[in-house]
Amino acid sequence: GAVVSQHPSWVICKSGTSVKIECRSLDFQATTMFWYRQFPKQSLMLMATSNEGSKATYEQGVEKDKFLINHASLTLSTLTVTSAHPEDSSFYICSARDLYSGKAFFGQGTRLTVV
Amino acid sequence: GENVEQHPSTLSVQEGDSAVIKCTYSDSASNYFPWYKQELGKRPQLIIDIRSNVGEKKDQRIAVTLNKTAKHFSLHITETQPEDSAVYFCAASIPQAGTALIFGKGTTLSVSS
């Protein structure tokens, strides 16, 4: 299957700082990537759809100024959590779908802890 | 938009028994239904998927059935093993690369030996 690589796998940051998470499609081009958030023992909640060369589409209730998404190339999407607070602590995971099969593949996920 | 309901939230079985997880979806336009297995702290892994032109699909001990009229689909695991213990998620979507999967809330499967 397709490979999606996400970095970092974990990060600890201080309140008020910003954190950038990268998501790369290694062996295929992804014009669209998806960012999910997962709280402990809960499901994956779609945060936004990242579109190469255009603005991301955010789900209702997700602050676009807080969760900045950039998709500058066909293989890279980034999520920046700005002015992080403890309530932003969560597991963030990206995904991309194979253009032909429609199958979705996930990055390793990033465990963000804001202290 | 699409809404996916998944039941049960937890399931405990003895090794060798079968396990069944059920999902319903709301959007009749959805025609792609994958199942993912997620182990603690790891990424979801695709284990099987089905499209609406097929009623059943099987891969060794895992099978998925789809009733498009009733808008529900199920995951069946036979001869369960302890390593099947994980959280399982169903999802629904149209099979286009620009459309996100919408997930059910997950089922925690515990297989005891």
Annotate A62-88 with b (16+ C-beta within 10 A) or e (fewer).
beeeebbbebeeebbbbbebeebeeeb
Q: How many CB atoms lie within 10 A of CB A1?
A: 12
Q: What's A15's DSSP letter?
A: T
Cβ pair B101:A104 closer than 8 A: yes
Cβ pair A102:B105 closer than 8 A: no
What type of residue is A27? D
Cβ pair A46:B100 closer than 8 A: yes
Contact B13, B107 (CB under 8 A): no
Q: What's A59's DSSP letter?
A: P
Minimal Cβ distance to A43: which of B43, B95, B106 = B106
Residue with tokens 């960012």: A35
Minimal Cβ distance to B97: which of A31, A41, A42 = A31
Cβ pair B101:A95 closer than 8 A: yes
CA angle B50/A45/B93 to nearest 5° reads 25
**CB contacts, 8 Å: B41 with chain A:** 109, 111
Residue among A45, A54, A102, A99 at smallest CA distance from A77: A54
**CB contacts, 8 Å: A46 with chain B:** 100, 102
**CB contacts, 8 Å: A105 with chain B:** 46
Predicted confidence band of residue A1 (pLDDT cuts 50, 70, 90): low
**pLDDT for the residue B105:** 96
Task: Walk along chain B (113 residues) and give the pLDDT tens digit of each residue.
Answer: 889 999 999 999 999 999 999 999 999 999 999 999 999 989 999 999 999 888 999 999 999 999 999 999 999 999 999 999 999 999 999 877 788 999 999 999 999 99
Q: Is the pLDDT of residue A97 over 90?
A: no
**C-alpha pair distances (Å), B42 with each of A10, A15, A76, A110, B39:** 12, 26, 21, 10, 5
Q: Are strands A10-13 and A67-73 parallel, antiparallel or unpaired?
A: unpaired
Kindly state the tokens that stand for B91.
């999802």
